[in-house]
Amino acid sequence: MNKILTPDTRPAEQFTDAKAAVERLIDLYSQATSFLTAHFQKAMDSAAPAMRIRAFYPEIRFTTSSYAQVDSRLSFGHVSSPGTFAATITRPELFRNYLTQQIGLLIENHGQPVTITVSDTPIPVHFAVSHDDSVTIPQEGAAEFTLRDVFDVPDLSTTNDDIVNGTCLPLDGVRPLAPFTAQRVDYSLARLAHYTATDPEHFQSHVLFTNYQFYVTEFEEYARAMLRDPESGYTSFVSTGNFEITDGDAALPSSVKTPQMPTYHLKRANGLGITLVNIGVGPSNAKTATDHIAVLRPHAWLMVGHCAGLRNTQALGDFVLAHGYLREDHVLDDDLPVWVPIPALAEIQIALEDAVEQVTQLEGYELKRIMRTGTVATIDNRNWELRDQSGPVQRLSQSRAVALDMESATIAANGYRFRVPYGTLLCVSDKPLHGELKLPGMASEFYKTQVARHLMIGIRAMEQLRDMPLERLHSRKLRSFDETAFL
């Protein structure tokens, strides 16, 4: 099978208008995916074609020859040196606002057009037909022909994090324009739908992570209250299974199958609402969720979960605001070495502390009664207390840790790696070093009194961050000296 059938060739075109450039991306992507879907359906209905069927992702390409500096206060929207930069693009309709903003900044800051063209990267048929519910990709061997003999399939050898990890080697002198390639984005969009049982379209720009289902009930109650308030600005609430309501009193059907990471979305215009993800317990889940949500380029993500308090002066229900992280989770060691510092971000820290003051009505010295700032340690062994205490306890003491959990440092480290502003506010649920373990009776009373207040602090912080200019929130602390232009 030597012949390859592709869509009609479309010429490259330069644009100085970002909206027009995005429309061309949408047009090229639609042409490619429609072509693949039609030929795939035909192959399933009749017989395999006698030639390979292939279509390509659209591409943004940008070239500048000037060393002229742009506004140094801005951490994105420009390239750092002359050269040619490119990014393959998928689902441009989903990313319309993001692409319009990023392309617009690039054109404005450099005074040069962008070129929209067809790349030489094939679109895997699995991703091309994923938006059509009537089309199902058969398992290998289920069709009457070998799928990869006719169509391109996902290739994990080219689906990686080389760009964000800083290990990407330019091809033919062309450097990356965006933090993720189209294949990497498509892979994560598919994983998100699988793990959360909600479509990527519903995800909002402000993401709360929690490690307890109790927060979900409170989030739904808050969402319903917001939908009853015509002045709230929130438009709908989406639960697992993509069930969406716009009326605060409307019923939500029970999901037939509980996903691995139940996810809920309180939506607002332009995606500026809040998404809550129950990642469960453990650093592996935390990494999985953030690996995939990162491609949606959220404006911030926060961890609001429970932790073990490590100081005898702490009480159950106290809050811990992380300003440093001890990483003993190990799941990111290959991508982000442990010697890389994970700094606290002032914008996030201020928003969280302000939110605690608003919700608790405490401030200044009185706030210290219920909230500690300090290092949060994240470990990969839930039963660490049962091991020899000399090693873990010594490291916790040397790090000045005030709390321990299994997710926060992972989420913060991946936020740092993916350039997503991050923060952590935890609630002390037990004190294992001081003989206060989680017991059924004590736990139920604790959850009853603390969950609603804790969740509300996370929501208030997100609402404060929502009103912050992007150039301030996405600070230079998260960007290296040779960054992609796109956020």
* pLDDT tens by residue, 149-202: 888 888 887 788 999 998 888 878 899 999 999 999 999 999 999 999 999 999
- The rounded distance, in Å, linking the Cα atoms of 374 and 413 is 16
Q: Tell the residue number behind the tokens 């659209």, with chain if given.
A: 58
- The rounded distance, in Å, linking the Cα atoms of 486 and 478 is 13
User: What percent of the chain has a predicted confidence (pLDDT) above 70?
Assistant: 90
Give yes or no for residue 465 having a pLDDT over 60.
yes
- Total residue count of the chain as it appears in this document: 487
pLDDT at 185: 97
Q: Summarize the confidence of residues 87-100 as an average pLDDT.
A: 97
What rounded mean pLDDT belongs to the chain?
A: 89
pLDDT at 437: 58
3-state SS class at 291? helix
pLDDT at 140: 58
pLDDT at 36: 93
Give yes or no for residue 207 having a pLDDT over 90.
yes
- The rounded distance, in Å, linking the Cα atoms of 338 and 357 is 33
pLDDT at 75: 81
pLDDT at 80: 83
Give yes or no for residue 9 having a pLDDT over 90.
no
- The rounded distance, in Å, linking the Cα atoms of 297 and 306 is 26
pLDDT at 137: 65
350, 351, 355, 361: CA torsion to nearest 10: 30
Weakest mean pLDDT among 31-35, 99-103, 154-158, 398-402: 154-158
Give yes or no for residue 210 having a pLDDT over 60.
yes
* pLDDT tens by residue, 404-434: 999 999 999 999 999 999 999 999 987 766 5
Give yes or no for residue 308 having a pLDDT over 90.
no
Give yes or no for residue 442 having a pLDDT over 60.
no
HEC secondary structure over 381-425: CCCHHHCCCHHHHHHHHHCCEEEEECCHHHHHHHHHHHCCCEEEE
Question: Per-residue DSSP letters for 32-49?
Answer: HHHHHHHHHHHHHHS---
* pLDDT tens by residue, 257-296: 788 899 999 999 999 999 999 999 899 999 999 999 999 9
Q: CA-CA distances (angstroms) from residue 381 to 34, 378, 410? A: 48, 9, 14
Question: Per-residue DSSP letters for 4-27?
Answer: EE-PPP---EEES-HHHHHHHHHH
pLDDT at 149: 84
Q: CA-CA distances (angstroms) from residue 116 to 27, 86, 138, 203? A: 11, 10, 33, 27
- The rounded distance, in Å, linking the Cα atoms of 97 and 316 is 43
Answer yes or no: are the C-beta atoms of 446 and 317 closer than 8 Å. yes
pLDDT at 65: 86
Give yes or no for residue 402 having a pLDDT over 80.
yes
Q: Summarize the confidence of residues 443-448 as an average pLDDT.
A: 58
- The vertex-238 CA angle with 232 and 243, nearest 5°, equals 135
Give yes or no for residue 63 having a pLDDT over 90.
yes
* pLDDT tens by residue, 111-154: 999 999 999 999 999 899 877 666 666 665 556 677 888 888 88
Q: Tell the residue number behind the tokens 């199902």, with chain if given.
A: 136
pLDDT at 68: 66
Return the number of other C-beta atoms located less than 10 Å from residue 433's C-beta: 18
Give yes or no for residue 344 having a pLDDT over 80.
yes
Answer yes or no: are the C-beta atoms of 63 and 112 closer than 8 Å. yes
Answer yes or no: are the C-beta atoms of 391 and 385 closer than 8 Å. no
3-state SS class at 53? strand
pLDDT at 28: 97
Task: Pick the most confident of 3-12, 160-169, 203-212, 435-444.
Answer: 203-212
Give yes or no for residue 441 having a pLDDT over 70.
no
Q: Summarize the confidence of residues 360-370 as an average pLDDT.
A: 86
User: What percent of the chain has a predicted confidence (pLDDT) above 90?
Assistant: 61
Provide the whole-model pTM: 0.92
